[in-house]
């Protein structure tokens, strides 16, 4: 069983480094003189178990130490080990540290030891002095009664029902308590009250809405009327202001016109003078477009002059080229011009060339054959000298050709005056005549009449063939000559190749002649144009006395420049004169216009005055006065309108706010939220309050039904102490203790003597402690000189009761009376069957 082995006071009141113990498990009697520290130790034990008392605000002595923080330790022991519990002054009674001296670790040892015994219960029931003795009776009927607590502990509950009840009530009290403001339900009640008030106000405000709505409608009508009146007044004022402005403008216009007319006269005179000073040649100006037209072509003239020079150079070049071509083929331009050199001629020449070649070949072949046969015949006849002169006949064709060519050269040389051609032509012609003369004596050879007739026949046949071929050739040559003559190409001779060359030259000549003709045409055209230009130029200035004229193309450029200069000067003068004339015309028009405008303005002024009911001749000042009056009226009506509008707007806004205003809905929502919260909190409160009451009721019933055993035991102890003078104790439940004497008389505790009452209280404590059994195991019973008021007899009875108690629980009995210590020692003598006593002397006053 757990018990206290030792107590060490390191700093506690006057105790410093003091120790109590070792203590026995049964009765320990601590004897010491006054002020040795007995009561300090008794208090130290309680404060080490339950925490150091606060320095102030408590009825418990605090034992503040001058030497430092209060601290001390308890050594607890049981069969399994030993533990040192040290407590140092600090928050919440001071921190505790547990040191295991032997056995298993038990950090929670202090809670285990004190479980079920509150600090107060310990102070009153287990650790007490004379001053606490009577407290056991105090509050018996209340929930805080020590007895109640101990009874509960005795009932086997680890948790004290009184504490449970107190806890439940505390929690309930946080939810609601009458006449308080802090609990939640109390706060909610206040909030609901305030919210109800707010809602009432909002409802009152809503009630005014209908009235406001009606007023709003009235204001809307009033606003409409005010608006109409204001607009009418503003319209009048505006019109008058416009008329005033118009009138002012018209009068200004009138003045302006008058000033302008006055200043325009001198301007007109100055312009006329300037006009007189400007000299213009009108004829020249009239002729200017024609002159400018001619001058605009001057560059063309110059270009053409340049072209004419180019044409001249080309013409000379082409003439030389044509002459050389004809000289090369030796014909005259006339012959060349007359000859047919078309495509048929060229084709004909080629045809004739081939045909003649073929015929010449055939004739030559036949002649050679005839000569061969003749040679054979000659051989055979050995005499044959008469042969034809084929060579002579061979001269005919060249003779013809040369005669023709000579004729052509003579003709062209004569035509062109070319002496060389003429002489050459005569020479060729003479040669041709010679050949023709030679060819005159040619004819068929007389066939020898030899023996060889066959050969002769052959020869004759061959001769005939040769002659035939020759005849054909000559026929063709004649036809060829005739063809050439037809084509007027006979000037080129009869050689087809020469004829072809001549034809080619003629064609080239004709091309050059065509170019030449074209060049001459162009030159003629340009020259004609330039001449025309000169005539145009002269015509353009014809009749203008001062203008020069061009007598030749060479003069044209200088004359044109001179004319241009004259024309430009005259044009500038002309423009100046036009400008001045326009100025004069403008001024004249303005004067007319201004005069008309003055008339119109005058009539407008009259018109405005009529409109505003002012007599003719009235001025702006009078109209301005009228306008100001209208403005003032419009302003007054405007202010009235503004007032109505302001009221109207304010009311509209107010009504609009009502529409948007969700404060009532918010307030009602908040209200319902609060009511819901109240309902929830009420339920929480109800459960807690009912639970607290259930525990309280049960506890009372429990005490009532299960308490008698304890009371009976207290009665026995009390009887033993008083040696039968009192026989029993009764606790009726109304807060009183009643004792019965030997005569069964009922005596309230309040009527007992101090000593007897103290003995009753001790008896009650001892009975209670005996029943605690498993509760508060390890907590010793500490008594501080509690038997001093007992007489010797009863002191002995008390000693026996104390010794008996020590059989159930460790007892530490402090006393300053040696005889009390001795008495306890005697009573507890093991010889008497008790466990003996451990005597401890505190002889030295604690430092």
Partner 1 sequence: MSRSFKFVHTADIHLDAPFVGVNAKDARVQEELIRATYAALDRVATIAVERQVDFVVVAGDIYNTKDKSTRAQLRFRSVMQRLAEANIGVYLVHGNHDPANGYSAGLDMPDNVHYFSTTKVERIEVKDASGQTLCALYGQGFGTAVVTDNLASRFSRQAGDETAIGVLHANVGGQQGYEPYAPCSLQDLRNAKMDYWALGHIHKKQDLGDSPKIRYSGSPQGLNPKEDGAHGCWVVTMNRGEVTEEEFVETDAVRWHQATIDVGQMNNVDDLVDALRDECTRCRGESGGRPAIVRIDLVGRTEVNASISRGSTFDEVVEELRREQLEATPWLLVERVRNRTHPAFDIDFLREVEDFTGDLIRFTEALEDPTAAKEFMDEVLGGVDKAFGEFERDEAELIRRARDLSLSRLLEEDR
Long-range interactions of 49-57: CB distance < 8 A, separation 24+ = 49/74, 49/110, 49/113, 49/114, 49/122, 49/779, 50/93, 50/114, 50/119, 50/122, 51/87, 51/92, 51/93, 51/94, 51/119, 52/87, 52/89, 52/93, 52/94
By the rule CB under 8 A, 203 interacts with partner 1: yes
Which residue of 185, 559, 644, 827 would you call a contact of partner 1, by CB under 8 A? 185
Residue 580 sits at the vertex; the CA angle it makes with 579 and 582, to the nearest 5 degrees, is 65
Residue corresponding to tokens 């609990």: 183
- What are 552's strand-pairing partners? none
The DSSP annotation for 237-288 comes to: HHHHHHHHHHHHHHHHHHHHHHHHHHHHHHHHHHHHHHHHT----HHHHHHH
Which residue of 92, 182, 660, 831 would you call a contact of partner 1, by CB under 8 A? 660
Residue span binding partner 1 (CB under 8 A) among the ranges 96-104, 298-306, 412-420, 684-692? 684-692
By the rule CB under 8 A, 201 interacts with partner 1: no
How many residues of this chain bind partner 1 (CB under 8 A)?
A: 61
**Residues 767 and 720 sit within 8 Å (Cβ to Cβ):** no
Which residue of 426, 671, 730, 740 would you call a contact of partner 1, by CB under 8 A? 671
By the rule CB under 8 A, 262 interacts with partner 1: no
CB of 151 to partner 1, least distance (A): 10
CB of 81 to partner 1, least distance (A): 24
Looking at the Cβ atoms of 301 and 685, the one nearer to partner 1 is 685
By the rule CB under 8 A, 182 interacts with partner 1: no
Q: Is the dihedral of CA 232, 236, 238, 239 positive or negative?
A: positive
Q: Which residues contact 165 (CB under 8 A, 6 or more apart)?
A: 143, 692, 695, 696, 699
- Residues 389 and 446: their CA atoms lie apart, in Å, by 11
- Phi first, then psi: what are they for 380, rounded to 5°? -75, -35
By the rule CB under 8 A, 773 interacts with partner 1: no
CB of 688 to partner 1, least distance (A): 7
Q: Which residues contact 19 (CB under 8 A, 6 or more apart)?
A: 6, 7, 8, 9
Q: Closest Cα to residue 118, out of 51, 25, 26, 43?
A: 51
CB of 634 to partner 1, least distance (A): 35
Binding track, positions 391-430, relative to partner 1; x by CB under 8 A: ----------------------------------------
By the rule CB under 8 A, 157 interacts with partner 1: yes
Looking at the Cβ atoms of 501 and 771, the one nearer to partner 1 is 771
By the rule CB under 8 A, 190 interacts with partner 1: no
- Residues 309 and 553: their CA atoms lie apart, in Å, by 13
What is the DSSP-derived secondary structure letter of residue 845?
P
Looking at the Cβ atoms of 681 and 713, the one nearer to partner 1 is 681
Provide the 3-class DSSP secondary structure of residue 27.
strand
CB of 706 to partner 1, least distance (A): 9
CB of 700 to partner 1, least distance (A): 10
Q: 109 to 148, contacts with partner 1 by CB under 8 A? A: 115
SS3 string, 125-185, reads: HHEEEHHHHHHHCCCCCCCCCHHHHHHHHHCCCCCCHHHHHHHHHHHHHHHCCCCCCCCHH
Which residue of 694, 709, 746, 847 would you call a contact of partner 1, by CB under 8 A? 694
Which residue of 535, 701, 723, 829 would you call a contact of partner 1, by CB under 8 A? 701
Looking at the Cβ atoms of 629 and 701, the one nearer to partner 1 is 701
By the rule CB under 8 A, 57 interacts with partner 1: no
Which residue of 682, 785, 822, 826 would you call a contact of partner 1, by CB under 8 A? 682
* Cα-based torsion angle of the residue sequence 775, 776, 778, 784 in order, rounded to the nearest 10 degrees: -120
Which residue of 189, 248, 464, 536 would you call a contact of partner 1, by CB under 8 A? 189
Looking at the Cβ atoms of 158 and 262, the one nearer to partner 1 is 158
Which residue of 91, 92, 102, 178 would you call a contact of partner 1, by CB under 8 A? 178
- Phi first, then psi: what are they for 12, rounded to 5°? -160, 105
By the rule CB under 8 A, 693 interacts with partner 1: yes
- What are 81's strand-pairing partners? 78
By the rule CB under 8 A, 653 interacts with partner 1: no
Which residue of 447, 624, 698, 771 would you call a contact of partner 1, by CB under 8 A? 698
CB of 149 to partner 1, least distance (A): 13
Q: Which residues contact 461 (CB under 8 A, 6 or more apart)?
A: none
Binding-site ranges for partner 1 (CB under 8 A): 115, 152, 155-159, 161, 164, 167-168, 176, 178, 185, 189, 202-203, 206-207, 209-211, 213-214, 658-662, 664-666, 668-669, 671-674, 676-680, 682-683, 685-691, 693-695, 697-699, 701-702, 705
């Amino acid at each position: 069983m757990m018990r206290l082995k030792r107590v060490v006071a390191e700093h506690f009141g006057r105790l410093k480094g003091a120790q109590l113990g070792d203590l026995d498990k049964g009765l320990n009697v601590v004897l010491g003189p006054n002020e040795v520290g007995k009561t300090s130790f008794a208090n130290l034990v309680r404060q080490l178990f339950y925490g150091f008392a606060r320095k102030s605000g408590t009825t418990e002595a605090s034992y503040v130490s001058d030497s430092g923080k209060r601290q001390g330790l308890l050594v607890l022991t049981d069969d399994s080990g030993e533990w040192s519990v040290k407590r140092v002054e600090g928050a919440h009674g001071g921190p505790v540290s547990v040191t295991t001296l032997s056995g298993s670790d038990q950090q929670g040892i202090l809670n285990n030891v004190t479980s079920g015994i509150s600090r107060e219960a310990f102070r009153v029931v287990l650790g007490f002095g004379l001053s606490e003795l009577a407290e056991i009776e105090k509050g018996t009927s209340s929930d805080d009664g020590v007895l109640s607590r101990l009874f509960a502990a005795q009932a086997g509950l680890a948790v004290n029902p009184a504490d449970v009840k107190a806890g439940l009530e505390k929690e309930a009290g946080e939810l609601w308590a009458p006449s308080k403001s802090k609990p939640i339900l109390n706060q909610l009640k206040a909030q609901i009250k305030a919210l109800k008030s707010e809602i009432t106000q909002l409802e009152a405000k809503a009630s005014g809405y209908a009235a406001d709505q009606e007023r709003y409608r009235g204001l809307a009508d009033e606003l409409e009327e005010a608006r109409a009146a204001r607009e009418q007044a503003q319209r009048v004022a505006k019109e008058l202001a416009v008329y005033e402005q118009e009138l002012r403008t018209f009068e200004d216009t009138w003045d302006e016109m008058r000033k302008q007319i006055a200043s325009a006269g001198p301007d007109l005179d100055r312009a006329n003078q300037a006009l007189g000073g400007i000299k213009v040649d009108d004829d020249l100006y009239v002729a200017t477009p024609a002159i400018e037209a001619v001058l605009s072509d001057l560059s063309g003239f110059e270009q053409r002059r340049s072209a004419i020079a180019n044409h001249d150079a080309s013409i000379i070049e082409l003439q030389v080229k044509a002459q050389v071509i004809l000289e090369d083929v030796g014909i005259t331009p006339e012959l060349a011009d007359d000859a047919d050199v078309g495509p048929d001629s060229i084709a004909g020449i080629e045809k004739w060339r081939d045909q003649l070649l073929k015929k010449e070949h055939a004739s030559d072949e036949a002649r050679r054959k005839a000569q061969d046969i003749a040679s054979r015949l000659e051989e055979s006849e050995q005499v044959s000298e008469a042969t034809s002169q084929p060579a002579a006949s061979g001269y005919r064709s060249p003779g013809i050709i040369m005669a023709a060519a000579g004729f052509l050269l003579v003709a062209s040389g004569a035509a062109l005056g070319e002496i060389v051609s003429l002489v050459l032509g005569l020479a060729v012609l003479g040669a041709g005549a010679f050949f023709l003369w030679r060819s005159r004596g040619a004819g068929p050879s007389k066939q020898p009449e030899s023996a060889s007739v066959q050969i002769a026949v052959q020869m004759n046949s061959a001769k005939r063939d040769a002659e035939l071929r020759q005849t054909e050739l000559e026929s063709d040559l004649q036809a060829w000559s005739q063809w050439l003559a037809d084509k007027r190409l006979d000037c080129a001779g009869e050689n087809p190749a020469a004829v072809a060359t001549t034809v080619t030259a003629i064609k080239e000549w004709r091309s050059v002649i065509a170019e030449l003709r074209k060049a001459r045409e162009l030159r003629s055209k340009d020259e004609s144009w330039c001449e025309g230009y000169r005539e145009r130029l002269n015509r353009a200035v014809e009749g203008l006395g001062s203008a020069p004229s061009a007598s030749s193309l060479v003069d044209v450029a200088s004359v044109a420049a001179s004319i241009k200069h004259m024309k430009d000067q005259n044009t500038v003068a002309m423009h100046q004169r036009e400008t001045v004339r326009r100025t004069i015309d403008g001024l004249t028009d303005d004067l007319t216009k201004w005069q008309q405008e003055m008339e119109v303005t005058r009539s407008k002024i009259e018109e405005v005055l009529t409109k505003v009911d002012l007599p003719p001749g009235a001025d702006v000042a009078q109209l301005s006065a009228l306008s100001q009056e209208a403005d003032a009226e419009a302003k007054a009506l405007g202010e009235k309108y503004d007032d109505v509008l302001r009221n109207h707007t304010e009311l509209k806004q107010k009504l609009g706010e009502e529409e948007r205003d969700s404060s009532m809905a918010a307030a009602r929502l908040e209200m319902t939220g609060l009511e819901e919260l109240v309902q929830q909190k009420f339920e929480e409160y109800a459960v807690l309050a009912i639970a607290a009451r259930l525990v309280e009721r049960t506890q009372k019933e429990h005490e009532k039904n299960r308490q008698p055993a304890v009371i009976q035991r207290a009665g026995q102890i009390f009887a033993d102490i008083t040696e039968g003078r009192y026989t029993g104790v009764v606790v009726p439940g109304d807060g009183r203790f009643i004792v019965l004497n030997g005569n069964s008389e009922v005596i309230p505790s309040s009527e007992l003597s101090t000593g007897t009452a103290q003995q009753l209280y001790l008896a009650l404590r001892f009975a209670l402690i005996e029943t605690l059994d498993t509760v508060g195991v390890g907590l010793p019973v500490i008594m501080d000189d509690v038997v001093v008021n007992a007489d010797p007899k009863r002191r002995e009875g008390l000693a026996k009761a104390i010794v008996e108690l020590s059989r159930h629980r460790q007892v530490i009995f402090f006393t300053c009376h040696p005889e009390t210590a001795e008495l306890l020692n005697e009573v507890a003598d093991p010889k008497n069957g008790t466990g003996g006593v451990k005597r401890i002397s505190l002889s030295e006053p604690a430092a």
